[in-house]
């Protein structure tokens, strides 16, 4: 299926931990890819940042994954940081579901 | 000569024609004879033949033979092909090939010889002999080691001259080419050897003599090693050979001969191909849970890699055959194959073929299929005709089994390709069958499980919506495509005292677990609605219940309480409902958090006054998330456009309009469940209550969002 933006995960490692930058659409066809990428990191990181600033779309399955990661981070005592999507459609889902305030979201830094 | 016609022919004959009389004198001498011997006709007519063309050292024998013939009438030289040495006008000698005929008439005996100069051919033969002698000197003389090494080499080594004739072949080459002795091979032309085989390149194209590396070298072309597949026309054996050739140069740097090494790589190549085939087959088998389609794909893959046609049969509960797939290398003959299969009874003979395999679970290999086996197996004349037309060479039937359970069988048949199926093919087919068995079982288990979950989920939807005085209700529910692991939309409408409750939601989860959650949410809602009237409080109750579940259980929900012309709405992580009037489409309500997800959260009740003719449309994100042709989503704007201007229509018409727009936009099946419910306040009832309630209350509910605003701020909820 043709997608407006290709789903892509870019991994960068910094002193504080690992950042996964996600572009494209996070929905039921791509959510497993992200779950696997996160799973593969193992528990060694002190901090995991999911940069969603370039995410163009997210559905309920994507949201569910974020909630699961948040609960996992609390349980295993590591830090999860989520970067807010710039795209209206993805941001609206987070606001409408209360995830924006309940999950550890931060604004994207200006480029 | 007797006739002008004979003269005409003789004058133009390619052969030299020389006639003589009883005295041995020349009587005829055609132009070819002039060219061959260098004597003009006038110079030789009437002279003794022996003097003109027989070398002096051979003349006595010639004259003696001639005399003996005249005396006895018996000639050993007449009417057969002879080879002799002849003399030219310039005194040089040369080899001729000739036939001599004798004719007796009134004037006595006359003799007619047809001769050809064969010095060029003789020269080539001498050259060949010289090369052979040289080579043998090289091999057997000072360098015996060469013979020792090459002779005992497992690879076939041949050396050929410029005319492709064999100068040397080691024992491996002799055996490889299917000969029992060097002499037999030497006396067979290369073309004749080639005719015994069907020869193909790796990509399947046919290889001709001109493509063989040694022949290319002789044409002065570079000769890369060539991998060929050969099928012996006589015994059907298939082989893979790697041909490598190099030129042998003479002192002047000219190609004198070519040496070719034929490395048999059959085993290696087949293992490689088997690996590729199995990898492809495994990927195909794992690609889909629709096992019938999957098996058809595997059958297609098997031709022409493994066989010329491939059929897949499964066994049903009664042990009968169910044909699933037939693939043929030549699509034009697929009809033939299919017609043939129609002759095979569903109830199989347990003593042979498929029936035997089904019974014993052991594979069967028929390397050769003799005609009497076809006659024996044929049901009637037409069947036999078809069996013969297919041209069975060999066949292989392999069970598709899971432990002791026989699920079906793969049948592989070799026909047009001429190759025989062997033990190697049997092993390959058995491995494919083992993978197919797992795929079939997985798919059966999956479809059972998925249909249980699906049935459960759908059983949780109300069979029909209740009738609410003054209102009209309609709904649509489009389940996610079969095999999808997501889905879990639900809705419900019930009465509590003098009011009506409606809930629509979406549990994010899989299969049976999602169904269990749906049941839990609905049950909680119905029970709690007996003592709680606030939709916001009802959502809080559901939220608390979900949080008690051991695994993460989240759910979106929109809860609505309908009393007279007033709707009270609370939304938890769900798209806001749309309020549709003749004037506009607007989202109403206030977003609240997802249920079961977050700590310390609360929901808000928003009251909405419903005008006569107005319709509330609640929906799940399956509608806005639906994907269209260019990968775009249906989205909030399209949803509003679809509902724009529906005005005072019935609930069913509103839902119809919405479904139609969605169907037009969407490509493929629904990835997710899709549900919508419309609540329409009918105009007649509204008119009756016009005095009782002031319907001028858009300002009072205060939470209406105009469509533009809603699109921007609340367009895509979840």
| Residue B653: burial class (beta carbons within 10 Å; 0-12, 13-18, 19+) | middle
Tell me, yes or no, whether A89 lies in a domain.
yes
Ranking B120-134, B307-321, B450-464 by mean pLDDT, the lowest is B450-464
Query: What's the fold here for domain B4-117?
Result: Beta-Lactamase (3.30.450)
Contact B718 A89 (CB under 8 A): no
Tell me, yes or no, whether A78 lies in a domain.
yes
User: Rounded CA gap, B476 and B463, in Å?
Assistant: 12
**Ranked by mean pLDDT, which of A12-16, B489-493, B697-701, B707-711 comes out on top?**
B489-493
Phi, psi dihedrals of residue B431, rounded to the nearest 5°? -70, -40
Q: Which residue of A has its CA nearest to B558?
A: A97
Q: What percent of chain B has pLDDT over 70?
A: 87
Tell me, yes or no, whether A3 lies in a domain.
no
| Structure token pair of residue B431 | 């491995």
Residue B321 has pLDDT above 90, yes or no: no
Residue B494's pLDDT band (boundaries 50, 70, 90)? very high
Count other C-beta atoms under 10 Å from residue A56's C-beta.
21
Residue B327's pLDDT band (boundaries 50, 70, 90)? confident
pLDDT digits (tens, 9 = 90+) for B222-237: 878 888 989 888 888 8
Tell me, yes or no, whether A111 lies in a domain.
no
**Which CATH number does B274-450 carry?**
3.30.450.40
Residue B573 pairs in a beta bridge with none
Tell me, yes or no, whether A1 lies in a domain.
no
| Angstrom distances, CA of residue B281 to CA of B110, B299, B306, B439 | 81, 9, 12, 11
pLDDT reported for residue B114 = 87
Residue B210 in contact with residue B216, Cβ under 8 Å? Answer: yes
Q: Per-residue pLDDT averaged across B464-483, rounded?
A: 82
Tell me, yes or no, whether A99 lies in a domain.
yes
A63 contact residues in B (CB cutoff 8 A): 508, 554, 573, 594, 718
Residue B447 distance to chain A (closest CA, Å):
20
Which CATH number does the domain housing residue A41 bear? 3.30.750.24
| Residue of B570, B595, B716 to mutate when probing chain A, most A C-beta within 10 A | B716
Q: What percent of chain B has pLDDT over 90?
A: 19
Tell me, yes or no, whether A44 lies in a domain.
yes
pLDDT reported for residue B484 = 54
Half-sphere exposure of B535 (CA within 13 A, CB side): 26
Residue A61 distance to chain B (closest CA, Å):
6
Compare CB distances from A93 to B599, B601, B717 and report the shortest one's residue: B717
| Residue B674: burial class (beta carbons within 10 Å; 0-12, 13-18, 19+) | buried
Q: Does A74 touch chain B (CB under 8 A)?
A: no
Nearest CA to B489 out of B615, B594, B619, B376 is that of B619
pLDDT reported for residue B580 = 92
Residue B691 has pLDDT above 50, yes or no: no
Contact A59 B718 (CB under 8 A): yes
| Angstrom distances, CA of residue B381 to CA of B336, B375, B387, B388 | 15, 9, 10, 11
User: Rounded CA gap, B692 and A81, in Å?
Assistant: 55
Residue B272 has pLDDT above 80, yes or no: no
ipTM value, please give it: 0.86
Q: Which residue of B has its CA nearest to A1?
A: B631
Residue B716's pLDDT band (boundaries 50, 70, 90)? very low
| Angstrom distances, CA of residue B671 to CA of B178, B192, B266, B557 | 61, 63, 48, 20
The number of folded domains in chain A is 1
User: Rounded CA gap, A29 and A48, in Å?
Assistant: 23
DSSP helix/strand/coil, B158: strand
Residue B226 pairs in a beta bridge with B243
| Residue of B597, B708, B710 to mutate when probing chain A, most A C-beta within 10 A | B597
Q: Does B698 touch chain A (CB under 8 A)?
A: no
Residue A32's pLDDT band (boundaries 50, 70, 90)? confident
**Ranked by mean pLDDT, which of B432-436, B559-563, B651-655 comes out on top?**
B559-563
Residue B455's pLDDT band (boundaries 50, 70, 90)? low
Residue A3 distance to chain B (closest CA, Å):
5
Q: What is the number of CB-based contacts under 8 A between chain A and chain B?
A: 95
pLDDT reported for residue A44 = 60
User: Rounded CA gap, B549 and B509, in Å?
Assistant: 13
Contact A60 B508 (CB under 8 A): yes
pLDDT digits (tens, 9 = 90+) for B124-154: 777 777 776 776 666 555 455 566 666 666 7
Phi, psi dihedrals of residue B120, rounded to the nearest 5°? -65, -45
Q: Which residue of A has its CA nearest to B622?
A: A59
B711 contact residues in A (CB cutoff 8 A): none
Residue A29's pLDDT band (boundaries 50, 70, 90)? confident
Same topology between domain B274-450 and domain B460-689+696-713: no
Tell me, yes or no, whether A80 lies in a domain.
yes
User: Rounded CA gap, B502 and B337, in Å?
Assistant: 59
Residue A50 in contact with residue A72, Cβ under 8 Å? Answer: no
pLDDT reported for residue B664 = 87
pLDDT reported for residue B579 = 94
Query: What's the fold here for domain B122-264?
Result: Beta-Lactamase (3.30.450)
- What domain range includes position A23? 8-106
Residue B713's pLDDT band (boundaries 50, 70, 90)? very low
| Angstrom distances, CA of residue B45 to CA of B18, B37, B39, B56, B70 | 10, 14, 10, 19, 21
pLDDT reported for residue B449 = 67
Residue B554 distance to chain A (closest CA, Å):
7
A 30-49 residues inside an 8 A Cβ radius of B: none
Q: Which residue of B has its CA nearest to A88?
A: B712
- Domain boundaries of chain B, sorted by first residue: 4-117, 122-264, 274-450, 460-689+696-713
Query: What's the fold here for domain B460-689+696-713?
Result: Phosphatase 2c; domain 1 (3.60.40)
pLDDT reported for residue B145 = 58
User: Rounded CA gap, B452 and B533, in Å?
Assistant: 35
């Amino acid at each position: 299926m043709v997608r407006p933006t290709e789903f892509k995960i870019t991994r960068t490692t910094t002193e504080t931990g690992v950042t996964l930058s996600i572009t494209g659409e996070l929905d039921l066809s791509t959510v497993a890819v992200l779950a696997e990428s996160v799973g593969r990191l193992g528990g060694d990181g002190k901090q995991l940042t999911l940069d969603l600033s370039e995410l163009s779309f997210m559905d309920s399955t994507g949201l569910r994954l974020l909630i699961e990661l948040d609960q996992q981070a609390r349980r295993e005592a590591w830090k999860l940081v989520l970067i807010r999507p710039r795209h209206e459609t993805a941001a609206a889902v987070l606001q409408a579901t209360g995830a924006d305030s309940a999950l550890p979201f931060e604004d994207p830094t200006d480029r | 000569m007797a006739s002008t016609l004979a003269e005409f022919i003789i004058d133009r004959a390619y052969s030299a024609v020389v006639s003589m009389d009883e005295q041995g004198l020349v009587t005829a001498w055609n132009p070819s004879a002039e060219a061959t011997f260098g004597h003009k006709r006038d110079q030789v007519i009437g002279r003794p033949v022996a003097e003109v063309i027989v070398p002096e050292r051979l003349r006595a024998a010639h004259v003696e033979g001639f005399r003996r013939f005249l005396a006895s009438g018996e000639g050993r030289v007449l009417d057969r092909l002879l080879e002799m040495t002849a003399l030219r006008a310039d005194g040089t000698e040369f080899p001729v090939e000739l036939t001599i005929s004798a004719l007796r008439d009134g004037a006595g005996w006359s003799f007619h010889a047809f001769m050809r100069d064969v010095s060029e051919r003789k020269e080539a033969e001498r050259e060949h002999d010289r090369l052979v002698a040289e080579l043998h000197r090289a091999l057997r003389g000072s360098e015996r080691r060469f013979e020792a090494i090459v002779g005992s080499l497992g690879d076939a080594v041949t050396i050929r001259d410029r005319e492709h004739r064999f100068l040397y072949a080691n024992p491996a080459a002799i055996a490889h080419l299917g000969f029992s002795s060097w002499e037999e091979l030497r006396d067979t032309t290369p073309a004749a050897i080639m005719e015994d085989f069907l020869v193909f390149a790796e990509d399947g194209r046919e290889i001709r003599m001109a493509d063989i590396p040694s022949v290319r070298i002789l044409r002065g072309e570079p000769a890369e090693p060539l991998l060929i597949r050969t099928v012996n026309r006589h015994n059907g054996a298939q082989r893979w050979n790697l041909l490598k050739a190099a030129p042998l140069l003479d002192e002047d740097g000219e190609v004198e001969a070519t040496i070719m090494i034929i490395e048999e790589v059959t085993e290696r190549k087949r293992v490689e191909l088997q690996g590729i085939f199995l990898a492809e087959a495994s990927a195909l088998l794992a690609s889909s849970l629709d096992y019938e389609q999957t098996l058809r794909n595997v059958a297609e893959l098997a031709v022409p890699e493994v066989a010329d046609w491939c059929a897949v049969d499964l066994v049903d509960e009664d042990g009968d055959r169910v044909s699933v797939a037939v693939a043929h290398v030549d699509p034009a003959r697929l009809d033939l194959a299919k017609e043939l299969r129609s002759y095979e009874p569903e109830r199989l003979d347990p003593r042979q073929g498929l029936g035997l395999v089904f019974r014993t679970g052991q594979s069967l290999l028929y390397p050769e299929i003799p005609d009497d086996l076809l006659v024996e197996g044929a049901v009637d004349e037409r069947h036999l005709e078809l069996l013969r037309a297919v041209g069975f060479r060999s066949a292989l039937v392999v069970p598709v089994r899971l432990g002791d359970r026989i699920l079906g069988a793969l049948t592989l048949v070799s026909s047009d390709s001429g190759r025989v199926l062997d033990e190697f093919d049997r092993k390959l087919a058995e491995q494919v069958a083992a993978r197919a068995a797992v795929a079939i079982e997985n798919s059966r288990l999956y479809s059972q499980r998925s249909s249980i979950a699906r049935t459960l989920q759908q059983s949780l939807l109300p069979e029909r919506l209740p009738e609410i005085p003054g209102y009209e209700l309609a709904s649509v529910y489009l389940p996610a495509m079969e095999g999808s692991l997501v889905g879990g939309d639900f809705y419900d409408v019930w009465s509590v005292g003098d009011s009506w409750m409606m809930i629509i939601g979406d549990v994010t989860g899989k299969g049976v677990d999602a169904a269990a959650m749906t049941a839990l949410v609905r049950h909680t809602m119905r029970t709690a609605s007996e003592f709680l009237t606030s939709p916001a409080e009802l959502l809080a109750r559901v939220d608390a219940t979900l949080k008690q579940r051991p695994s993460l259980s989240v759910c979106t929900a929109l809860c609505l309480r309908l009393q007279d012309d007033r709707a009270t709405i609370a939304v938890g992580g769900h798209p806001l409902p749309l309020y549709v009037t003749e004037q506009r489409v607007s989202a109403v309500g206030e977003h609240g958090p997802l249920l079961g997800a977050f700590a310390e959260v609360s929901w808000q009740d928003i009251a909405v006054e419903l005008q006569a003719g107005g319709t509330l449309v609640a929906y799940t994100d399956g509608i806005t998330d639906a994907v269209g042709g260019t990968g775009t989503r249906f989205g909030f704007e399209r949803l509003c456009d679809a509902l724009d201007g529906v005005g005072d229509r019935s609930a069913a018409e509103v839902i119809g309009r919405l479904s139609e727009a969605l169907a037009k936009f969407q490509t493929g099946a629904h990835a997710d469940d899709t549900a919508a419910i419309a609540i329409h306040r009918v105009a007649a009832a509204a008119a009756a209550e016009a005095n009782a309630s002031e319907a001028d209350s858009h300002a009072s509910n205060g939470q209406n969002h105009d469509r533009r605003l809603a699109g921007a701020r609340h367009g895509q909820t979840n």
